[in-house]
Structure 1
Amino acid sequence: MPNDTPPAAPLLWLLLLLSVTTGMVDAISVLGLGKVFTANMTGNIVFLGFAAAGTAGFHVAPYLAAIVAFLTGALVAGRVGKHHAGVSLRRWLLVAALVEAALLWVAAAVAWDFDIASQTPGVSLYAIIALTGLAMGFRNATIRQLKVPDLTTTVLTLTLTGLAADSGPAGGSNPNWARRLGSVLAIFAGAAAGAFLVGHGGLVAPLILAGALVLAGTLACMAHPAAKV
């Protein structure tokens, strides 16, 4: 389980890789599932407000589905984290990676016959939202328990704030600037890659790739001799 010692370099690289997959998952959901986020819940709350006001093009049901799935994933991950208290962090991270990869790959299977243009079949739409939302909720709760500053893997508002507020021009010492900038660039790169894959082949390939990156990155982190986890 996490402690107060500085995170090993392999863990930092893993979190940056997970940030890449966050960008991919949000590209999948926003571009492929009709303007809904399954990794970034702030966007869903805003869109839910738009839908509640009757704004054209925004519908309550997808945002509620994503939020409920995300919360459910986070709840389960919280229980899993407590169950692994005192157990090797390697084992905990592997369990989390297996759960997330499995959910993303099942979503890829569901997306096989999903048509982005018509958003049909509807049952597949909500299944993909639920599966990716569960995966991202599980991820967020797991990373939150690691308590690694400036690498939440999903949220950048505070990271960008820190970059500016702690910078030299602001009178700060620029703590963790490389980590913060890396997090921003990782999500940007994942979003660009996800958008390309969705635009050139649909949802299946980016979902499979995102799951593979999560699992492969975690296994590489666990196997690295410098990983004191």
Structure 2
Amino acid sequence: MTTPSETPEHDPEARGLRLVAVLLTLTVVSGLIDAVSYLGLGHVFTANMTGNVVVLGFAAAGAPGFSVPHTAASLLSFLVGAVAGGRVARRLGGGSRRTWARLTLAAEAVLLGASAAVAFAAPGATGTTYTLIVLTAFAMGLRNATVRKLGVPDLTTTVLTMTLTGLASDSRAGGGSGRHSPRRTASVVAMAVGALLGAWLVLHHGLGVPLVVATALTGVLALTSSGRE
């Protein structure tokens, strides 16, 4: 039986949007960000680092349309963001998960908002390309470190390889129970929706608008996230 101290009204950590919903929305944001970076910044990923390592190999081999400096800037910025996220996790991770999640999401929203401002202020400039790569990759590294420390199963927000593997191998067809299939399926759909929306916005409205959408979504989550799965 639930006691008064365990109800959401008496548990500050439970107030707000559950982390599963928060992370699924962030997966949509990842699709938006990679649409911006891959389609608009010279075939580089700033959220999906698995793809970026492959792209770096393509660029190093001289494949047309890929850039070693762009990809290296993205990888380095992501790693610096992840270092920052690790430090924040060690500082705040022992306290309120709700506060920790909200502060990190607020930082991501600020970084994405700065990216949007730059995209509108100087579209097409070489400096703009590098600035957007650095800001969005740093934001994704910060977020990934936080998501990893939060430890919500099957919701990494930026990569789907293990999610798809689990979806197939743990399904009834694979001899499993399929218990986590809804969450995993939702993650795949969220990424696809974000990529579709991001690609449409980039192709029809440029880079600034999808970054504004990503900023708005992340900002709402920063105000509404709970600390509970």
1:29 CA drift (Å): 0.5
Q: Which residue of 1 aligns with 2:210?
A: 206
Larger displacement relative to structure 2 (106-115 or 96-105): 106-115
Which consecutive residues of structure 1, in runs of 5 or more, have no partner in the other structure?
1-6
Q: Deviations over 1:52-78 (max 9, x none)?
A: 112222220000000000000000010
CA distance in 2, matches of 1:51, 1:114: 26
Equivalent in 95, 102, 122 of residue 94 of structure 1? 102
Equivalent in 15, 35, 39 of residue 23 of structure 2? 15
The answer as to 2:129 corresponding to 1:125 is: yes
CA RMSD of aligned residues (A): 1.6
Aligned residues: 215
Task: Give the TM-score normalised by the residue count of structure 1.
Answer: 0.90
CA distance in 2, matches of 1:108, 1:228: 30
CA distance in 2, matches of 1:42, 1:168: 29
Q: Secondary structure at the match of 1:174?
A: coil
The list of structure 1 runs, each at least 4 consecutive aligned residues, that deviate by more than 3 angstroms after superposition, is none
Task: Give the TM-score normalised by the residue count of structure 2.
Answer: 0.90
Q: Secondary structure at the match of 2:187?
A: helix
Equivalent in 125, 150, 156 of residue 146 of structure 1? 150
1:85 CA drift (Å): 3.2
Equivalent in 187, 191, 211 of residue 187 of structure 1? 191
1:147 CA drift (Å): 0.8
The answer as to 2:62 corresponding to 1:58 is: no
Letter in 1 for 2:46: T
Q: Which residue of 2 aligns with 1:3?
A: none
Q: Secondary structure at the match of 1:169?
A: coil
- Percentage of matched positions with identical amino acids: 50
CA distance in 2, matches of 1:51, 1:204: 26
The answer as to 2:49 corresponding to 1:45 is: no
CA distance in 2, matches of 1:192, 1:204: 16
Which consecutive residues of structure 2, in runs of 5 or more, have no partner in the other structure?
1-12
